[in-house]
Amino acid sequence: MDRIFMKTALELAVRARGRTSPNPMVGAVVVREGKIIGQGYHLKAGTPHAEIHALNEAGQEAKGATLYVTLEPCCHHGRTGPCTEAVINAGIARVVAAMADPNPLVAGKGLARLREAGIDVTLGVMEKEALRLNEVFIKYITTGSPFVVAKAAMSLDGKIATRSGKSKWITGPAARAFGHRLRDWYDAILVGIGTVLADDPSLTTRLPGGGGRDPVRVILDSRARIPPQARVLTQQSEAPTIIAVTSAAPPERLKTLRESGAVVLVVNEGPRVDLAELLRILGSRGITSVLIEGGAGVHGSAISAGLVDKVAWFIAPKIIGGATAPGPVGGTGADDPAGASALERVRVRRLGPDILLEGYFKH
C-alpha cells in the first residue's frame, strides 16, 4: 500500500515539471483508513509546499492519518515556513518519505524533527523513482552547478545534417514536439555561435497547442560575432538571452549587444569560452539546468570535458550518407572504443517512427 500511495504522490509532483526551479518537484497525499483525504504538489518556487496543500485539503481528518511525500519535509524558514511544524500541528501519525532532502539545510533534520514529535517515519519507499524525478535539483543543490543535458537529432548513420548543411527535418513531428517539451522543462538552452549564424534559430518553446515556457538562451560567442538582427536578440520573449564571450571580444560589439537587451558575460581570457567556468557562472545566477542543443563542436567540448550529465539522443530511421555530412559530436574523440564515454541507466522509447535514447554519463 505504501508503494501505491507513493506512486500517486510522484504522479502529482511531476505535474509541475519545469515550474519549480530552483526548488524540487514534490507531491504529497494524506491517507486515512486506506483512502486519500488530501493531496497536493508544489506548484512553483515561493508558493506553499506540497505538504501544505495536502494537509489543507484533508483538514481536521488529517489527525491520526498518514502523510506520503516524495521528499523529506523541510524544517527551515525560507520563502515559506517549515513543513515539519505544519505536519506536527496537523496531528499526522505517520510520515512516509521517498527520499531524504539533499539540501544541506535539511539533510535528515526534517525527519529527525518528526521523530522527536513522536511521529512514525518511514524512508526510502520508491526512492529510485524519486531520485530520478529530482535529478536536476539534487545536482544543483549539492554542487551549485547546473544539471547538463546534451540533446541531438541524427539519422541512423549518425548524421545531423546533409553534406550541404540542411538539417530540417531529420526527425518527425512527435520527436520535435518532445524536443520542445525538453525546452519547457529545463532552465536554459545553450548553442554555439555557429548554430546561430547557420540557422538563425529562435530557441523558444513551441508546444503543440501553444503554451510552454521559454528557456534562457545562452550563446557561446567568443568574439561577439552574433548579428544584431539575430532572432535570439530581436524576438519577443520573457526569457533573456545571454551571450558568453571572452576578453577577445571587441568592446564596441559588447556595447551593441547590451543595448539590444542581451546579457553579456565575459567568461575568461583566451580564444574560446571556458564551458566549466560558464556553467559555474550560470549556477550562481540561479540556473539549475542547461539543455545543450549546440552543434558537433559544442557537444564535443562539453562531453570531452566531462560536463554533461545526461543525453537525449533522437535517432531517425533514415540513412543520409556522405563522408562530409556532419555528426553530432566533434573534437578529437576516443583513440579506442574502450576509451569512449560510456552511458549507464539507458532508456529507449518510441516517438512516432523515431527513437529517443536517454542515458547518463559515468562521472
Please check if 210 is assigned to a binding site.
no
Estimate to the nearest angstrom the gap between the alpha carbon of 134 and the chain centroid: 9
Q: What is the pLDDT of residue 18?
A: 93
Q: DSSP 3-state assignment of 10? A: helix
**Domain-ending residue, one of 114, 133, 152:** 133
CATH number for position 346:
3.40.430.10
Please check if 199 is assigned to a binding site.
yes
Q: In 3D, which of 91, 84, 96 has the Cα closest to residue 122?
A: 96
**Domain-ending residue, one of 133, 166, 189:** 133
Give the separation between CA 94 and CA 87, rounded to whole angstroms.
10
Q: What is the pLDDT of residue 10?
A: 98
Task: Report CA torsion sign: 125, 130, 132, 136.
Answer: negative
Q: In 3D, which of 136, 42, 121, 130 has the Cα closest to residue 80?
A: 42
Contact criterion met (CB below 8 Å) for 248 and 222: yes
53: domain range? 1-133
Per-residue pLDDT tens for 309-357?
999 999 999 999 999 998 999 888 888 898 888 999 999 999 999 999 9
**Which triple of cell numbers denotes residue 241?**
538571452
- Do residues 221 and 331 both lie within one domain? yes
Per-residue pLDDT tens for 192-236?
999 999 889 999 999 888 788 999 999 999 999 999 999 999 998
Mean pLDDT of 17-24: 94
Cis peptide before 169 (omega within 30 of 0): yes
Please check if 295 is assigned to a binding site.
yes
Q: Is the pLDDT of residue 59 over 90?
A: yes
The crossing angle, in degrees rounded to 10, of helices 2-13 and 50-58 is 120
DSSP 163-228: TTS--TTSS-HHHHHHHHHHHHHSSEEEEEHHHHHHH--------TTS---PPEEEEE-TT----T
338: Cα within 13 Å, side-chain hemisphere? 0
Give the separation between CA 294 and CA 250, rounded to whole angstroms.
23
- φ/ψ of 64, rounded to 5, equals 85, 0
Q: Is the pLDDT of residue 254 over 80?
A: yes
Establish if 288 belongs to a structural domain. Answer: yes
Mean pLDDT of 238-266: 95
Q: How confident is the model at residue 23 (pLDDT cuts 50, 70, 90)?
A: very high
- Do residues 27 and 47 both lie within one domain? yes
Q: In 3D, which of 66, 35, 29 has the Cα closest to residue 51?
A: 29
**Which triple of cell numbers denotes residue 262?**
542581451
**Domain-ending residue, one of 71, 101, 133:** 133
- Do residues 117 and 165 both lie within one domain? no
Q: Is the pLDDT of residue 78 over 70?
A: no
Mean pLDDT of 283-300: 94
Mean pLDDT of 61-77: 93
- Do residues 153 and 212 both lie within one domain? yes
Give the separation between CA 155 and CA 67, rounded to whole angstroms.
48
Q: What is the pLDDT of residue 79?
A: 66
Q: What is the pLDDT of residue 142?
A: 95
Mean pLDDT of 237-243: 95
Establish if 168 belongs to a structural domain. Answer: yes
Per-residue pLDDT tens for 79-108?
667 899 999 999 999 999 999 999 988 888
- Do residues 14 and 119 both lie within one domain? yes
CATH number for position 43:
3.40.140.10
Mean pLDDT of 169-176: 94
Please check if 75 is assigned to a binding site.
no
Q: Is the pLDDT of residue 163 over 80?
A: yes
Residue 297's contacts (CB-CB under 8 Å, 6 or more residues apart) are 192, 194, 330, 331
Name 155's bridge partners.
316
- φ/ψ of 195, rounded to 5, equals -65, -40
Please check if 115 is assigned to a binding site.
no
- Do residues 164 and 245 both lie within one domain? yes
- Do residues 6 and 65 both lie within one domain? yes
Q: Is the pLDDT of residue 157 over 80?
A: yes
- Do residues 224 and 242 both lie within one domain? yes
Q: What is the pLDDT of residue 39?
A: 97
Please check if 195 is assigned to a binding site.
yes
Q: What is the pLDDT of residue 77?
A: 67
Q: In 3D, which of 304, 277, 279, 52 has the Cα closest to residue 188?
A: 279
Give the separation between CA 90 and CA 30, rounded to whole angstroms.
11
Please check if 298 is assigned to a binding site.
yes
- Overall number of domains in the chain: 2
Please check if 301 is assigned to a binding site.
yes
Active site residues: 51
Q: DSSP 3-state assignment of 84? A: helix
Q: Is the pLDDT of residue 293 over 90?
A: yes
Q: What is the mean pLDDT of the chain?
A: 94
Establish if 138 belongs to a structural domain. Answer: no
